[in-house]
Amino acid sequence: MTKLEFLNLGKQPITNNFLKIQNPKNEFFYNLRIVFDDKTKLVSSAEFIPPEKMFNDTYAHRASMSITMQKAYKDLSIKIKERFNPKSVLEIGSNDGIFLKNFNEANAIGVEPCKNLADITNSMNIKTFDEYWTMALSKKIINQFGTFNLVYSANTISHIHDLNETFLAISEVLADKGVFILEDPSLLEVIRNTSYDQFYDEHAYVFSITAINNLVKKTDLEIFDVELLDTHGGSNRIYIKKKKNNIKISKNISKILHEEKENGINHFETYIKFANNVKKSKYELVEIFKTLKKSNKKIIGYGATYKSSTILNYCGLNNYFIDYFVDTTKNKQGKFTPGTHIPIIKPNDNIDDDIDYAYLGAWNFKKEIFSKEKKYINRGGKFITHVPSPQIL
Ligand code: TMP
């Protein structure tokens, strides 16, 4: 047995299951436990949730909702064109087309199992397969379109359970001189920031570079560059190529592998320490909420993110503590948060005048939110966050 459990985040719902009624019968819950594989160094959920329960035609998350992300993907596409000049682009997990729309639609293909999202990109003339990423799909795409110069996947590979098949299928679809760019939350940043909300049903894995390196080593692929991004509270952008492609391998890789080693990514004790920090974080966050409620403060949530679902359910922060969430995503509005049943409403131009505190569910967009909410801040309105430790801002 190489998988060692270090964290139990209790009873958790499906994060994408925004409820139509506040107290439904038979809501699905499972026990979210996190394990470390001391052989591969992969950190994952102990139990994988069937994909159909999470990625279906009512999928709520729209990547294009954030101005920050729209700009980030536009800038990235310019950078990719300058560095690699790809003739054809395949995106695995194309969401609402936020990345692919920056490329010529004749040479861009999407893979997106959530049909409501695939419909959006298909209507933008970006051919999109509403299927899960598998070897069978990889072969089908090759038969129709050949191999690709660029394969891109952000916040998706961590959702796929069978990583061996995933990487083999990517290797098949990637041209010999092609580049695969993978982005996912960084495990090192999760540990540094005690941002345990990166663990939720969809995130079957939270990756270190060390673990990805171990995985790709088993294929004909290898990492040739790595960048640390601010997105989603700290993500790795990993550049992968075929071993036979002689693109120069960046010194960044040995640097980051060394940094991860120094920070104990390879050792179970690191995760035990992290789990203790999580328990402390829960205690301190709940204390903040309890103290504020005792003095009759009015608290809302800002951004009903999937991430925040883990925090709310683990910390027992329900409608008693949080009056409602504001969220710009249309198909979350008028619904209730999974498990904790807090109403979600459409935001007004600014946080309402009767609100004293706003809990940052979307803490990863703090900058964007603070610049939007200047009026609230100027009148003395405060924010609550749990990252990097529970505090009032
Ligand atoms: P994400 O962290 O999973 O990308 O989700 C961000 C959520 O936060 C998304 O539902 C939109 C919401 N949001 C707001 O409601 N207001 C904002 O200003 C920002 C930046 C995000």
pLDDT digits (tens, 9 = 90+) for 52-76: 999 988 888 889 988 888 999 999 9
Q: How far is the CA of 154 from the centre of ligand 1 (A)?
A: 17
Are 140 and 231 members of one domain? yes
Given a cut of 80, is residue 389 above it in pLDDT? yes
Are 172 and 23 members of one domain? no
Are 285 and 250 members of one domain? no
The CA distances from residue 38 to 2, 3, 43, in Å, are 6, 7, 9
Give me the half-sphere count of Cα atoms (radius 13 Å) on the Cβ side of residue 14.
19
Domains: count for the chain = 2
Are 337 and 322 members of one domain? yes
Looking at 244, 265, 286, the residue that finishes a domain is: 265
For the chain, what percent of residues have pLDDT higher than 90?
A: 94
Given a cut of 80, is residue 32 above it in pLDDT? yes
What does DSSP assign to residue 289? H
pLDDT at 189: 98
- Angle between helix axes 209-216 and 252-262 (nearest 10 degrees) is 120
Atom nearest to 368 CA in ligand 1: 20
Are 172 and 304 members of one domain? no
Q: How far is the CA of 363 from the centre of ligand 1 (A)?
A: 9
What does DSSP assign to residue 58? T
Measured from the CB, is residue 65 less than 6 Å from ligand 1?
Answer: yes
Which structural domain, as residue segments, surrounds residue 171?
Answer: 42-265
Measured from the CB, is residue 198 less than 6 Å from ligand 1?
Answer: no
What does DSSP assign to residue 158? G
Q: Whose CA is nearest to atom 13 of ligand 1?
A: 303
pLDDT digits (tens, 9 = 90+) for 157-202: 999 999 999 999 999 999 999 999 999 999 999 999 999 999 999 9
Give me the half-sphere count of Cα atoms (radius 13 Å) on the Cβ side of residue 80.
26
Are 145 and 227 members of one domain? yes
Looking at 218, 238, 265, the residue that finishes a domain is: 265
CA distance 198 to 148: 31
Are 299 and 348 members of one domain? yes
Are 217 and 256 members of one domain? yes
Are 242 and 350 members of one domain? no
Are 66 and 212 members of one domain? yes
pLDDT digits (tens, 9 = 90+) for 82-131: 999 999 999 999 999 999 999 999 999 999 999 999 999 999 999 999 99
Measured from the CB, is residue 305 less than 6 Å from ligand 1?
Answer: yes
Q: Whose CA is nearest to atom 8 of ligand 1?
A: 303
pLDDT at 60: 82
CA distance 134 to 170: 9
Are 301 and 187 members of one domain? no
- Tokens for 87, please give them: 């003739």
Atom nearest to 361 CA in ligand 1: 8
* Arithmetic mean of pLDDT, 342-362: 97
Given a cut of 90, is residue 151 above it in pLDDT? yes
Instruction: CATH number of the domain at 362, please.
Output: 3.40.50.720
**pLDDT-derived band of residue 1, with 50, 70 and 90 as boundaries?**
low
Instruction: Name the average pLDDT for the chain.
Output: 96
Measured from the CB, is residue 61 less than 6 Å from ligand 1?
Answer: yes
Instruction: CATH number of the domain at 206, please.
Output: 3.40.50.150
CA distance 342 to 318: 6
CA distance 299 to 326: 11
Q: Nearest-CA neighbor of 300 among 324, 332, 266?
A: 324
Measured from the CB, is residue 362 less than 6 Å from ligand 1?
Answer: yes
Measured from the CB, is residue 66 less than 6 Å from ligand 1?
Answer: yes
Q: Is the peptide bond before 388 cis (omega within 30 degrees of 0)?
A: yes
- Angle between helix axes 163-173 and 209-216 (nearest 10 degrees) is 70
Alpha helices in the chain (DSSP H): 51-54, 67-84, 115-123, 135-145, 163-173, 187-193, 209-216, 252-262, 268-294, 306-315, 366-372, 374-378
Measured from the CB, is residue 328 less than 6 Å from ligand 1?
Answer: yes
Q: How far is the CA of 327 from the centre of ligand 1 (A)?
A: 6
Which residues in 175-184 are b (16+ Cβ under 10 Å) and which e?
A: beebbbbbbb
pTM of this structure: 0.95
Looking at 265, 292, 325, the residue that finishes a domain is: 265
The CA angle 277-306-259, to the nearest 5 degrees, is: 45
Are 183 and 302 members of one domain? no
Q: Ligand 1 test: best mutation among 329, 330, 366, most atoms within 8 Å of CB?
A: 329
pLDDT digits (tens, 9 = 90+) for 226-235: 999 998 899 9
